[in-house]
Amino acid sequence: MKLTEMKQILTSGQIQLTKSLGQNFLHDQNQLRRIVAAAELTPADRVLEIGPGLGPLTELLLEKAGSVLAIEKDRRLADFLKKHFATAPNLELRCDDALDYLRREPRDWSDWKLVANLPYSVASPLLVELAGLPGCPSRVVVALQLEVARRLVARADDADYGLLSLLVQLRYEPQGHFKISADCFFPPPDVESACVVLKRREPSLLPDELRPTFTRLVKLSFSQRRKMMMKLLKQDWPADKLGAAFEQLGLSPQIRAEKVSLEQFVQLTKILEAGRKA
């Protein structure tokens, strides 16, 4: 779908795009093909697409994957997609809020891939939600705001490292990202964009039962970035347990969360949980 066709569809359907929904449609065919290539799709794959818009990425996904579940919040766009892909047997279309859908209808996504140009307004909570599921997608290839992309791939001591980095990277290993120019979208967004590729970790770094402890640990640690991490964690753990755990990991009592790696947070989770049960 070329830009001229996209504009014509919007005009003829009298569809006024809604900025609050983050409706910036990726139309550049080269970038769309790069996204699909990064997904490494086969005819056996099932793909979840969130925010298909007018369906330029959907078209390519339907060619490569066995089936596609597309979730579109905007009823006007969902009605267009229903007509446009009326003869596509491998497409299931839902008109729904994707975040609400994921929370309302839990399922095992472990043999699915998420491939999407995510609405900027909900990209972060959607990825955190999926990463927190016991059965999360095996691969994630998403276009989103460059600022968010940098946070997703950041490591300890990077300026962009923080809560989002840890909650997603616990389940996913970043495989890289590439920038996408604003003029590849319609309308062009006011921010820079990028495509991020994430691969599910096999095996998981933590068993399912320890993930709530990890989540609480990192949320507390980053609740006030300028404060020493140990002081923040005393809200939930005794000082002596924290001191022993930090010493075991070689962490300074004065360390801030931004200096602590994912692997160290994982080990700290295991130590503190074992101490709680002792």
Please write the tens of the pLDDT for every residue from 170-209: 999 999 999 999 999 998 999 999 999 999 999 999 999 9
Mean pLDDT confidence for 105-134 = 95
Q: What is the pLDDT of residues 244-278, one digit of tens each?
A: 999 999 999 999 999 999 999 999 999 999 877 65
What pTM, to 2 d.p., does this model score?
0.94
Residues of each domain in the chain carrying CATH 1.10.8.100: 208-277
Per the CB < 8 A criterion, the answer to whether 115 and 141 are in contact is yes
Which DSSP helix (H) or strand (E) runs through 100? Answer: helix 98-104
CA distances from 18 to 74, 155, 187, 191 (A): 9, 34, 11, 16
CA distances (Å), origin 96, targets 57, 69, 102: 19, 12, 10
| Statement: residue 21 has pLDDT above 70 | no
pLDDT value for 24? 87
CA distance 128 to 136: 10
Superfamily of domain 3-200: Vaccinia Virus protein VP39 (3.40.50.150)
Cβ(274)–Cβ(248) under 8 Å?
no
Tens-place pLDDT, residues 140-177: 999 999 999 999 999 999 999 999 999 999 999 999 99
Tokens coding 52 = 């298909």
What tens digit of pLDDT does each residue of 56-83 get?
A: 999 999 999 999 999 999 999 999 999 9
Whether the pLDDT of residue 50 is over 70: the answer is yes
Mean predicted confidence (pLDDT) in 96-106: 94
Question: Residue 19: what pLDDT?
Answer: 62
pLDDT at 30 over 90: yes
Q: Which CATH class is domain 208-277?
A: mainly alpha
Tokens 């990425």 belong to 57
pLDDT band at 11 (very low <50, low <70, confident <90, very high): confident
In tens, the pLDDT along 225-241 reads 899 999 999 999 999 99
Cα–Cα distance for residue pair 43/186, rounded to 1 Å: 30
Q: List every span in the chain annotated with CATH 3.40.50.150.
A: 3-200
Q: Are the C-beta atoms of 116 and 142 separated by less than 8 Å? A: yes
- pLDDT the model gives residue 237: 96
What is the percent of the chain with per-residue pLDDT over 70, rounded to a whole number? 97
Contact 213, 272 (CB under 8 A): yes
Share of the chain above pLDDT 90, in %: 86
Place of tokens 């001191």: 243
- pLDDT over 80 (residue 22): no
Which pLDDT score is estimated for 9?
Answer: 81
Closest by Cα among 89, 78, 19 to 49: 78
**What residues pair up with 195 in beta bridges, in sequence order?**
143, 178
**21, burial (CB in 10 Å: exposed 0-12, middle 13-18, buried 19+):** middle
From residue 229, alpha-carbon distances to 137, 266, 268 in Å are 32, 15, 12
> Cα(117)–Cα(194) distance, rounded to whole angstroms?
10
Pick from 15-24, 219-228, 236-245: least confident? 15-24
Spacing of C-alpha 148 from chain mean position? 9
